[in-house]
């Protein structure tokens, strides 16, 4: 098996997953019009996918280690591609949401398995770091390509085209993967935590239902109050189960480390503010400023491009100045950018809008890699992969809540007689205020009291900085 071919395949798989994250946002206005749905329907189109990715990501990595990384990768490609066809042919909002659920399941298998294959093929630490850097950089292009590709496809063919674009990519991945990928697994991988996985999906799903549907059904309606109550009970049961099973999907003991707890709390806020605000970017340009969907896609590019350009440097900055300094500055920039977006209006010229998107994008880019690095450093080297998986999961959970909560703010403002523009301003201001508060939180608490063996203390920020142990999945992979 060619290592270069494996790198190409795994990068292409992750590219397809990340492309889907941003390309859907560009198509939301067209979906709303053609499917005759409201803001609640659009929230479900996004959150149905993100919820499944968030709750199955950790299990997907363990599944790949246990049952074969090649097998799980190809299965993820098949499910994701087939689900994309279901989405493109969906005659109603219900079918589209069902297709998005299937896409989330496929992505939760494909993404960790792709990295697991890559890590297993590069046992030398130096080669592994370079390979993962290429994997992250190339696949990250999907984030920047999404708004532009979505705008072009929707303008030319309508929203179904954004899902059909996955079909040829998936077909090539499947055919090439069957030919060139070799199988690898970890024979000592732990069993899947089925109770924990089911309880986490049900608990977060129930809470998300209440947040999304509360604006239309009424916050005090029995159904909404019942969904919140069910969510609390299920999540409490999840905590109890995770504390008792021998191989939990989320070992609660990790949260005894302050650095781990603070970094993952901040990652929830990052996911909340980033995904919750970007959900409205294209809608702002289309519905408030009256642009076409293509122009809206182009105008959202400063945020995603800033993230792609700045992200590779975030880890280096954290190694030099410390997690606390870089993360707190990043959160402050992101918060200020979102607050500034809260004051844009229908007549605000684009020359006075793009820089606000760019500042927010730069800020978020400075936070994600260092927060993952801080989470990894808080645990033992053997648990680095698990810590990385938890960091990704907390970001996705924040994304689910961000779309739900900020959407609820807009819906509530509109129900009170305010315009959609005013609702958006309130949502951006809320996201910005929360992000700034988190900057203060990390500035005070994102430190570690001790320096583990083999790690040098960074003098500038009070943190311990080390080479991040980049692994593939929640458990250390073996070939």
Averaged over successive runs of 10 residues, the pLDDT of the chain (479 residues) comes to 78 87 91 94 95 88 86 95 97 96 94 82 70 70 83 94 95 92 80 90 93 88 95 96 89 91 96 95 95 94 90 88 95 98 96 97 93 88 80 91 95 93 97 98 80 37 33 38
Give residue 125's pLDDT.
Answer: 66
Could you tell me if residue 302 is inside a domain?
Answer: yes
Same domain for 113 and 29: yes
Residues 339, 214: one domain?
no
Looking up residue 59, the CATH number of its domain turns out to be: 1.20.1250.20
Backbone φ, ψ for residue 465 (5° rounding): -115, 135
Residue 328 sits in the same domain as residue 364: yes
pLDDT digits 0-9 by tens, 249-274? 888 899 999 999 999 999 999 999 99
Domain boundary among 228, 250, 272: 250
Q: Residue 456's pLDDT is what?
A: 38
Strand 464-465 with 456-457, pairing? antiparallel
For the segment 296-335, what is each residue's pLDDT rounded down to a tens digit? 999 999 998 998 899 888 888 998 999 999 999 999 999 9
Three-point CA angle 267, 272, 275, nearest 5°: 110
pLDDT of residue 462: 34
Ramachandran category for residue 92: left, alpha or beta (phi over 0 → left; psi -120 to 50 → alpha)? beta
The Cα 132–Cα 121 span in angstroms is 11
Verify that 257 and 245 share a domain, yes or no.
Answer: no
Q: CA torsion sign, 382 to 383 to 386 to 387? A: negative
Question: Is 478 a domain residue?
Answer: no
**Residues 238, 120 share a domain:** no
Question: Would you say residue 2 lies in a domain?
Answer: yes
Q: Give the per-residue pLDDT at 89.
A: 96
92 contacts 35 by C-beta, under 8 angstroms: yes
Do 391 and 294 share a structural domain? yes
Q: Is residue 113 part of a domain?
A: yes
Query: Do 129 and 230 sit in the same domain of this protein?
Result: no
Q: Which structural domain range is residue 282 located in?
A: 251-448
Q: Are residues 233 and 260 in the same domain?
A: no
Same domain, 293 and 375: yes
Number of domains present in the structure of the chain? 3
Q: Are residues 218 and 336 in the same domain?
A: no
């Amino acid at each position: 098996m060619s290592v270069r071919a494996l790198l190409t395949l795994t990068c292409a798989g992750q590219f397809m997953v990340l492309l889907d994250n941003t390309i859907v946002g560009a198509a939301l206005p067209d979906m709303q019009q053609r499917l005759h749905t409201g803001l609640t329907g659009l929230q479900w189109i996004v959150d149905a996918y993100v919820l499944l990715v968030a709750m199955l990501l950790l299990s997907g990595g363990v599944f790949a280690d246990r049952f074969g990384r090649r097998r799980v990768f190809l299965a993820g490609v098949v499910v994701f591609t087939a689900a994309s066809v279901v989405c493109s042919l969906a005659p109603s909002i219900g079918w589209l949401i069902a297709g998005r659920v299937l896409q989330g399941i496929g992505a939760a298998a494909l993404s960790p398995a792709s990295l697991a294959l890559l890590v297993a093929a590069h046992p030398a630490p130096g080669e592994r770091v370079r390979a993962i850097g290429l994997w992250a950089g190339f696949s990250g292009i999907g984030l920047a390509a999404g708004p532009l590709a979505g705008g072009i496809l929707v303008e030319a063919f309508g929203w179904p085209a954004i899902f059909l674009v996955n079909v040829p990519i998936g077909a090539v991945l499947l055919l090439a993967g069957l030919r060139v990928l070799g199988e690898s697994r970890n024979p000592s991988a732990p069993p899947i935590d089925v109770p924990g996985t089911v309880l986490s999906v049900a608990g977060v799903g129930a809470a998300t239902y209440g947040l999304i549907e509360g604006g239309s059904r009424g916050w005090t309606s029995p159904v909404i109050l019942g969904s919140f109550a069910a969510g609390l009970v299920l999540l409490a049961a999840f905590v109890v189960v995770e504390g008792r099973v021998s191989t939990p999907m989320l070992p609660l003991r990790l949260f005894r480390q302050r650095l781990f707890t603070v970094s993952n709390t901040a990652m929830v806020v990052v996911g909340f503010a980033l995904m919750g605000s970007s959900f409205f970017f294209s809608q702002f340009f289309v519905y408030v400023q009256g642009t076409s969907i293509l122009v809206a896609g182009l105008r959202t590019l400063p945020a995603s491009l800033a993230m792609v350009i700045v992200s590779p440097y975030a880890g280096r900055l954290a190694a030099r100045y410390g997690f606390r300094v870089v993360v707190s500055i990043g959160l402050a920039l992101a918060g200020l950018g979102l607050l500034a977006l809260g004051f844009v209006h229908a007549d605000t010229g684009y020359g006075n809008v793009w820089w606000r998107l760019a500042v927010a994008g730069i800020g978020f880019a400075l936070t994600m890699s260092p927060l993952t690095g801080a989470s990894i450093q808080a645990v033992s080297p053997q648990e680095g992969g698990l810590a990385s998986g938890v960091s990704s999961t907390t970001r996705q959970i924040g994304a689910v809540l961000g779309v739900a909560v900020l959407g609820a703010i807009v819906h509530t403002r509109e129900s009170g007689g305010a315009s959609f523009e005013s609702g958006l301003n309130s949502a951006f201001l809320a996201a910005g205020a929360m992000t700034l508060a988190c900057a203060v939180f990390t500035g005070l608490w994102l430190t570690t009291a001790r320096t583990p063996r083999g790690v040098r203390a960074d003098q500038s920020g009070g943190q311990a900085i080390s080479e991040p142990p980049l692994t593939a999945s929640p458990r250390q992979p073996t070939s």
